[in-house]
Structure formats: C-alpha cells, structure tokens
A and B are shown apart, each in its own frame.
Chain A
C-alpha cells in the first residue's frame, strides 16, 4: 500500500467551476501535508501546506485536513485554464522525507 493515495483522475472541469482533489494517507504519524502543482515538463511548485485539522484558504485554493479520517483535499474555486496541471499531494511522516501521491491531472475547459 502506498503511503499517499490520490484519486487518479484525470479531472476535467469547465472554466469557472470548482475542482475537487482528494488524497488519503496511511501513516498516522504524518504531521505535515502539502499540495504541489506541476506543469508538464516543469518541476513541482508549492500551492499549500496544512498542518492542523480543518480548512486553510489561500486565494482560490482551499486545503482541508482530517487527521481522524487520514484525508486531505484541495478545492480550486473559479477554475481557470492556467490551473490545468498535475496536482501532487504529499505527506511528511516526520522522517525527513515527503511521500507523494501519483498525482491528479486537471484540465480546465475554456
């Protein structure tokens, strides 16, 4: 079992809609969680970090963490064509590494 699992997608949403990305993790010791965005041919770019249960909002992005359910999600509101990318969920079990999910590819249709 992979340490971090993502709903594999791909996910296609119309411009202006909400894109919902989900991620589950197996290591209950994980304390920190991150969402990265990766455009084709580029390196991952940090979108959000979340450490506590609940919601964290940054602009059009909202991350949600539920440690009891071992669940992390990312909502992208008012999706734009520039949001088309692969989104990577990562967890940090505290042993100096990040464990990444396989990624979800999002396409925003104009």
Chain B
C-alpha cells in the first residue's frame, strides 16, 4: 500500500507571498492532519480534517488554512508568508481519530 505523499517536497518563497501544499493520504484513510515542525517549537498541530470537515484546529493565526476534498486529499494554504513560517510541514493520515497516524515525507518551506 502506498504511503502518504506530499507535494512539493521543497519550496522557496519570499515574504508576503502565499503557498499551497498538497497531501494525499494512504488509500482508505479518511483523516488527514497537518503539523508544523521547527527546531525551536518542535512538532505543532495545525488542523485535522475528516470527510471534508475540519474537526480541530491548533493555535495558529488565520493565515493558515486548509481543506479536504471528497477523495480525502488535503491542501493547506499559508497566506502573507512571514520569515517565521519557514519550517517542515508534515501531513499525517489515519483511518479515524483513534487510529495511528502515518506521516508523509513533508514539505520543507523556506521563506526569504
């Protein structure tokens, strides 16, 4: 079974731009979660989607948003990028909320 895939793998943007990251979950998994990982803050939860509905959101500003499509694929968007948004963005999928989450390879975003 194919794992979680994320595109793009690397991205360089400048301050003020916006970015869209994509995640395809493991086949059959309906829950998709997004996390931000930085050296200073570690792994922090962004949001979780199940059946196209956001069920939980972490403590991030409104510039961070996401959505899920009917095929369970998910996208997250960051608008008006700031230098501090430079991070590894990880997507994880699971069957449902109590199931184990499996991570994709991540998208490494650098904001200049």
Contact = CB atoms under 8 A, between A and B. Distances in A.
A43 B65 CA distance: 22
Among A88, A90, A98, A100, the most chain B Cβ lie within 10 Å of the Cβ of A98
A69 B35 CA distance: 28
Contacts of B102: 46
A31 B99 CA distance: 11
A11 interface: no
B56 A95 contact: yes
B55 interface: yes
Given A95-B56, A100-B43, A49 B100 contact: yes
Interface residues of B, number: 24
Interface in B21-37: 31, 33, 35
Interface residues of A, number: 23
Given A96-B56, A97-B33, A97-B58, A88 B43 contact: yes
A89 to B, nearest CB: 11
Interface of B is mostly: strand
Contacts of A102: 42
Contact of B48 (A44, A49, A88, A96): A96
Contacts of A36: 103
20 contacts: A31-B98, A34-B100, A34-B101, A36-B103, A46-B101, A46-B102, A88-B43, A92-B98, A94-B97, A96-B33, A96-B48, A96-B55, A97-B33, A98-B33, A98-B45, A98-B92, A99-B45, A100-B35, A100-B43, A102-B42
Interface of B: 31, 33, 35, 42-45, 48, 50, 55-56, 58, 88, 90, 92, 97-98, 100-106
